[in-house]
Amino acid sequence: MNNYFYKNLYEILGIEPTDDLVKIKSAYRSLARKYHPDLNGGNELYVSKFKEISEACEILMDKDKKALYDAFKGYVKTETKSKYTQPDPQKAYRAYKSAQNTKNTKKENAEDTNNPKGSFSQVLNDILEGLFKEQGINKTEYAKTSQKTQPKRGKKTPKDGEDITTELEISYLEALNGTHRTVNILHSEICPNCEGKMFINGSQCPLCKGLGETSIHKKINVKIPKNVKQNSKIRIASEGNRGRNGGKNGDVYLLIKIKNDEKYTYDGLNVSFETTIYPHEAVFGTEHRVETPQGAIKMKIPANCSQGQKFRLSAHGLKDDKGNIGDAIVTVRLDLPDELTEEELELYKKLSQLCKRREQKESAK
């Protein structure tokens, strides 16, 4: 028994068992335009699909083959539509053969002008000829040059996979000293279900939706070199999208982004930051706790410290992989409490009066 008896030829062409030859031809013409390799830039991925729709059209346009196929599949015409059942294949076949009159069949085949021998080949050629004309292609000239301009059947043109670029954010210290990171890359792989063919048994692959490939996440361990700069790119070879037909895989490029630190500003190994003190601490001096890259320490702030004054803390900056350590530069900012008590306000009033008297004495000199 031929393999096509186990396929749904009507579903392949997207038609119903009750449709006539006109609709069969129309369906084939539409699908041929969509899947014919020569009308789609020589795409060899369409070859198997085109063969399948051509076989379906050939069977359904042949009166005897269609009748035998319908009998085997169990299509029974009713007043409204055809319904599909699952009869015993052998009984269906015997019923069909017993209903045939050999002499009448031969006579009908000889007299049937709507279904002469070779009609399918003629119709197929006519349809394809029309499609080539729609595309502005001379089919005879195209056939002569196709072997030169198109890849040979069975040999697919290698196509390299596309590169992938993704951002990777690291700290300034990681950029200075280098680090290791695990990145999660989304890239394409050949569909494991249809193996890149896009179709399975004449139907679109349900896993890749006819794309021939699927997207998967892959974790990659990456070494970030020291002294890497902002917006520099790190190349990871062959970890991009998969190549086709023997083509090379694409690469992955990591675009380095050094994240801003709200607290610290960097200059080589030196680090700068601010700290706040109260006005009375600026007047009398104090020991103030600050957080440096090397840990928390208490720094001494002298009396009469002014707003914006800078202090250098030696060997409290960043440390590189060679053991060199930079300095911490601390800028002092004066801070007032959000809420002042009545007693504090009274003191500030007295301080304001004393400042005015000082200004008057200095201007009188």
pLDDT for the residue numbered 7: 81
Domain residue spans of the chain: 3-149, 164-258, 265-334
Query: For residues 8 and 75, is the Cβ–Cβ distance under 8 A?
Result: no
Residue 165's nearest CA partner among 248, 256, 247, 244 is 256
* CA–CA gap between residue 315 and residue 300 (Å, rounded): 16
pLDDT for the residue numbered 150: 45
Phi, then psi, of 194 in degrees rounded to 5: -105, 0
Strand partners for 301: 286
Burial of 43 (0-12, 13-18, 19+ CB in 10 A): middle
pLDDT for the residue numbered 166: 94
pLDDT for the residue numbered 328: 95
pLDDT for the residue numbered 63: 84
* CA–CA gap between residue 317 and residue 334 (Å, rounded): 23
* CA–CA gap between residue 296 and residue 100 (Å, rounded): 101
* CA–CA gap between residue 62 and residue 267 (Å, rounded): 83
CATH 3.40.630.30 fits 265-334, yes or no: no
Residue 94's nearest CA partner among 69, 72, 124 is 72
pLDDT for the residue numbered 165: 94
pLDDT for the residue numbered 112: 46
Q: Is 265-334 the same fold as 164-258?
A: yes
Q: What pTM was computed for the model?
A: 0.47
∠ CA 147-151-154, rounded to 5°:
110
Residue 220's nearest CA partner among 230, 231, 209, 235 is 235
State which fold the 164-258 domain adopts: HSP40/DNAj peptide-binding domain (2.60.260)
CATH number for the domain formed by residue range(s) 3-149: 1.10.287.110
The one-digit pLDDT tens for each residue of the chain (365 residues) are 456 777 888 888 889 888 888 888 888 888 887 877 776 655 666 777 888 888 888 888 888 888 888 877 777 554 444 455 544 555 555 555 554 544 455 445 544 444 444 455 666 666 666 665 655 555 555 454 444 444 454 567 888 989 999 999 999 889 888 999 999 998 888 888 888 888 887 677 888 888 888 888 889 999 999 889 889 999 999 999 888 888 899 999 999 999 878 889 988 899 999 999 999 999 999 999 999 988 899 999 999 999 999 999 999 998 887 889 999 999 999 998 778 888 888 988 898 888 888 888 888 87
Query: For residues 72 and 5, is the Cβ–Cβ distance under 8 A?
Result: yes
Phi, then psi, of 306 in degrees rounded to 5: -105, 160
